[in-house]
Every structure is written in C-alpha cells, then in structure tokens.
C-alpha cells in the first residue's frame, strides 16, 4: 500500500460480565468475531488484521478461532487492554492501529476506510475516530491511534484508561491532535453492540433482514428507524460508563 502500515486490531475475549462468550456467539451462522474480522478485511487502507485476546485459558477458543479465520493472533493481559494493543502494534510493525471491538458485528467497512483515510491524508494526527462527536449508533464505532500516541498513552495512562485503550487520547489533560467523523442525520440514540441477551436478539433480527454480509451504516439506521419492533428489543439496555469497564 504505502510506506506507512495501518493495522486493524480486533480486541476479543470471552470474559464478559454481562454476556460471557459473546464474541463466539453465532450470528446468522457465523461467529460474531468472524463478522468483525470480515468487515476489517473489507476496509480500504488496512494492511493487516489482528485479533488481540488475553492469555487467560478461557480465551484459548478466541485464539483458535482467530487462527481459523486466517489472521494473526496476539495474546496479553486480560484487563490491561492497552498493553495488548501496544503488543499488537509492536508485533506487526504498525504506524497506526485501528481499534475495533469484537462485540460490534455490524461494523461498516466504509466507515473503517473513512477513518483510516483521514489519518493517511495527514499522518501527523494522533487520533481519528467516529466517536469524538457521537452521531452513529453505538456499535459502529471506529477509532484509530498512531503508534506514537499509543506509546504515550501506554507510558502515562492509569486506571480505566488502560481498559479502554484510547480514552486517554481524548479524555486527558494532554493535548493530542485529533480529527472526528460525523454523519447526518444523527443516529446515536440507536444501539447495535452486543453486551446482553437483549442485544443478541436485536442483532439476530437485523441479520435476518439484512443477511450475512457487512451492512452499510445507513442501511442499519434505515432498518431500525422503520422497525420500532426491532429497536424495542434492546431499548432498555443501559450502556456501561468508562469507569465501569
């Protein structure tokens, strides 16, 4: 591609407090982790896709699935997820990493491509994302951090910043160079991430309508706006705060 390497890192583990094993859960016959790896592979500007899981025995199944999917797997701390991303960046010689979470199976390759494109147009940016001003449904998030910014965060970040990987880049006193992507009309009231049984029921309903393929973000929004019966399935789920992990 170019002299700069951008690696998509999919964080995945089985130890969810609300829905254990969720990244291995089938969705339209394909594991949820498989949906995310497929979307990352389909994005422009990505040089490699990596699954970053933990060394906990319970995550052996995640590592095995990553290998079956044909991507590199790195394993590190279960709770210090930031250190896992640094390990992935070091292992792949990345200049920037795209942070993707395996519990967001409806990821849109075009959104990933757009966030990567912002950074490739100006590699002095520390952080580009869809989340600086949230206008997309929760579960379609895409974040990119430069390797240099990631190393600064790794050296300085504490507490929940180490669990959330990128939060130090937009929620600390240090000034990083950031750029955000927004869409209109806003749809940040919608939720398409997988963290509860109810979320799984909603995702099953979406996949039944849109099929086993990476959907465009606007297709997801249009479907949910036209089908309140689907949005009601997980409307009562409360998103955990940063500090809750």
Domains along the sequence of the chain with CATH: 6-234 (3.90.550.10)
**Helix (H) or strand (E) run with residue 114 in it:** helix 109-121
CA–CA separation, 162 vs 11, rounded Å?
Answer: 13
* 3 state SS of 27: strand
Chunk the chain into consecutive blocks of 10 residues (it has 245) and report each block's average pLDDT, rounded to whole numbers.
87 88 96 98 98 96 98 96 97 98 97 98 97 96 98 93 93 89 96 96 98 97 98 86 50
Tell me the three state secondary structure of residue 212.
coil
| Helix, strand, or coil (residue 207) | helix
92 and 131 Cβ atoms separated by less than 8 Å: no
Whole-structure pTM value: 0.94
> Which tokens hold the place of 175?
């000034």
User: What pLDDT is stored for residue 1 in this prediction?
Assistant: 45
Give the model's pLDDT for residue 154: 95
pLDDT of residue 2: 57
């Amino acid at each position: 591609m170019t002299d700069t390497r951008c690696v998509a890192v999919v964080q995945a583990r089985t130890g969810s407090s609300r829905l254990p094993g969720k990244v291995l859960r089938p969705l339209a016959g394909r594991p949820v982790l498989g949906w995310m790896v497929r979307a990352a592979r389909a994005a422009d500007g990505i040089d490699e896709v990596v699954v970053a899981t933990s060394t906990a025995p319970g995550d052996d199944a995640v590592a095995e699935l990553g290998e079956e999917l044909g991507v590199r797997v790195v394993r590190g701390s279960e709770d210090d997820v930031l250190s896992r991303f640094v390990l992935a960046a070091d292992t792949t010689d990345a200049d920037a990493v795209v942070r993707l979470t395996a519990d967001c199976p409806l990821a849109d390759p075009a959104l990933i491509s757009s966030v990567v494109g912002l950074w490739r147009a100006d590699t002095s940016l520390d952080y580009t994302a869809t989340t600086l001003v949230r206008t997309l449904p929760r579960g379609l998030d895409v974040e990119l951090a430069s390797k240099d910014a990631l190393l600064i965060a790794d050296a300085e970040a504490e507490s929940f910043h180490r669990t959330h990987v990128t939060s130090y880049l937009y929620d600390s006193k240090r000034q990083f160079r950031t750029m955000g992507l927004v869409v209109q009309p806003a749809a940040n009231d919608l939720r398409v991430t997988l963290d509860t049984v109810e979320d799984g029921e909603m995702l099953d309903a979406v996949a039944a309508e849109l099929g086993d393929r990476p959907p465009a973000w606007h297709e997801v929004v249009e479907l949910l706006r036209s089908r309140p019966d689907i949005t009601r399935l997980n409307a009562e789920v409360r998103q955990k705060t940063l500090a809750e992990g």
